Amino acid sequence: MGDVLSQAEIDALLNALSDEHEETVEIRTTLTQKRIRMYDFKRPNKFSKDQINSLQNIHESLCRGLTNYLSGHLHAVIECKVLSVEQITYDEFIRSQPNPTVIGLFSLNPLEGTVLMEVSPSLAFNIVDRLLGGNGKGQNDEKNRDLTEIERAIIEHRLIQIIELIKEAWAEIYDLKPQFVSMETNPLFSQIVAPNEMILLITLEVSIGQAIGMIHLCIPYLVLEPILDKLSTYFRFSTQGKVVTPEQVQAIREKIEWAKVDMVAFLGHSEILVRDLLDLAKGDVIPLNQSVNDPLPIYVGEFMKFKSIPGLHGEHHAVQITEIVKGGGGQDS
């Protein structure tokens, strides 16, 4: 018969087994907690987080300029915002575009390469309709089609203007001199880089009244590669407070000078009975609460900005401004 283990020896063996089990569990837990970072060799990330944030700030500035430009030319309520900034291959982008569409190709001198700007057909037709006197309604119901020669000329001119806004948006980080190259309608004819090259795709959402359209800016990595260090530096400084210079204020004033606003001179108001209203006839006089000696208020939008006296200018009724009302809305009142 073999040796019989004492109780002390049995307890020692059980403790040893328990310690070994705890070490195994700890090792497995440590292996499980390791963070695994996925990396796609077909779609390598070329831009850092700081650079993406810099490009986001730059194109938010572009959105502000685009809002002012379209509001002044279309006389409509415009909203523009950056919807996304992402890194994809050029082939993924070009295959997702409709045919036909509106594509503008331009360079960013002195940087080498070509940049692509795609305007969704619904947005392009809405802009053309409004510029030609329409209200922009019903354009979304129209089937996608090629542009006529007149529509092509109108859209090409707007693309050139938007390219100038891109120059202004980049002014703080780099002195670019964009130059329009050509306009295409077939995405397959716009091969600006190899299909597997990485690009930066900035998607802008533009709302004109109730209609919504997209503008896609496709910037190849090879174009921005020489100034990537400036993008990282720009983000660090752009998060600090900015001082608005008098030149910037003047530039904003010049941009909004062509905006149209409603101006109304109130002659006064009165309250009458419904039966008197029904009995009104030509030649009847309705007394107003406004004295002939009191100045008439002039409203710009919903704010009273001026006081005036009524009169004639030639054969036309007119008012002469006699006083500017301070504090009538806005800081510059």
Of 234-238, 259-263, 288-292, which range is least confident?
234-238
- Residues 268 and 237 grouped into a single domain: no
- Residues 68 and 120 grouped into a single domain: yes
- Residues 167 and 269 grouped into a single domain: no
| pLDDT for 49 | 85
Q: What is the DSSP string of 300-322?
A: ETTEEEEEEEEEEETTEEEEEEE
- Residues 76 and 152 grouped into a single domain: yes
- Residues 83 and 188 grouped into a single domain: yes
DSSP state of 258: T
State which amino acid sits at residue 243. Answer: V
Give the confidence band of 165 by pLDDT, cuts at 50, 70, 90.
Answer: very high
Q: Which of 217, 240, 256 is the last residue of a domain?
A: 256
- Residues 243 and 305 grouped into a single domain: no
The sign of the CA dihedral 168, 238, 117, 143 is negative
Asked, for residue 153, whether it belongs to a domain, the answer is yes
Domain with residue 278: its CATH number is 2.30.330.10
Q: What's the mean pLDDT in 230-243?
A: 60
- Residues 133 and 224 grouped into a single domain: yes
| pLDDT for 160 | 93
| pLDDT for 82 | 93
The number of domains in the chain is: 2
Question: Is the separation of the CB atoms in 67 and 79 below 8 Å?
Answer: yes
- Residues 208 and 318 grouped into a single domain: no
| pLDDT for 333 | 47
Give the confidence band of 217 by pLDDT, cuts at 50, 70, 90.
Answer: very high
Q: Flag whether pLDDT at 185 surpasses 60.
A: yes
- Residues 279 and 137 grouped into a single domain: no
- Residues 134 and 247 grouped into a single domain: yes
Q: Which of 210, 229, 256 is the last residue of a domain?
A: 256
Q: Flag whether pLDDT at 319 surpasses 80.
A: yes
Q: What's the mean pLDDT in 153-176?
A: 91
Give the confidence band of 72 by pLDDT, cuts at 50, 70, 90.
Answer: confident
Q: Flag whether pLDDT at 37 surpasses 80.
A: no
Give the confidence band of 172 by pLDDT, cuts at 50, 70, 90.
Answer: confident
- Residues 158 and 289 grouped into a single domain: no
pLDDT in tens, 238-278: 545 556 678 878 888 887 877 778 888 888 888 888 988 88
Asked, for residue 40, whether it belongs to a domain, the answer is no
* CA–CA separation, 277 and 193 (whole Å): 73
More confident residue, 92 or 41: 92
State which amino acid sits at residue 7. Answer: Q
pLDDT in tens, 1-15: 456 667 777 777 667
Give the confidence band of 183 by pLDDT, cuts at 50, 70, 90.
Answer: very high
Residue-number span of the structural domain to which 310 is assigned: 263-324
Sheet holding 102-109, edge to edge: 78-89, 198-208, 211-220, 114-119, 102-109, 177-184
What lies within 8 Å, CB to CB, of 180 at 6+ separation is: 104, 105, 106, 156, 159, 160, 163
Asked, for residue 103, whether it belongs to a domain, the answer is yes
- Residues 90 and 154 grouped into a single domain: yes
Q: Which of 256, 280, 308 is the last residue of a domain?
A: 256
Question: Is the separation of the CB atoms in 266 and 296 below 8 Å?
Answer: yes
State which amino acid sits at residue 97. Answer: Q
Quote the mean pLDDT of the chain: 82
More confident residue, 237 or 170: 170
| pLDDT for 34 | 55
Asked, for residue 4, whether it belongs to a domain, the answer is no
| pLDDT for 139 | 53
| pLDDT for 1 | 46
Which of these, 308, 310, 309, 333, lies nearest to 323 by C-alpha position?
308
Q: Flag whether pLDDT at 200 surpasses 80.
A: yes
More confident residue, 78 or 240: 78
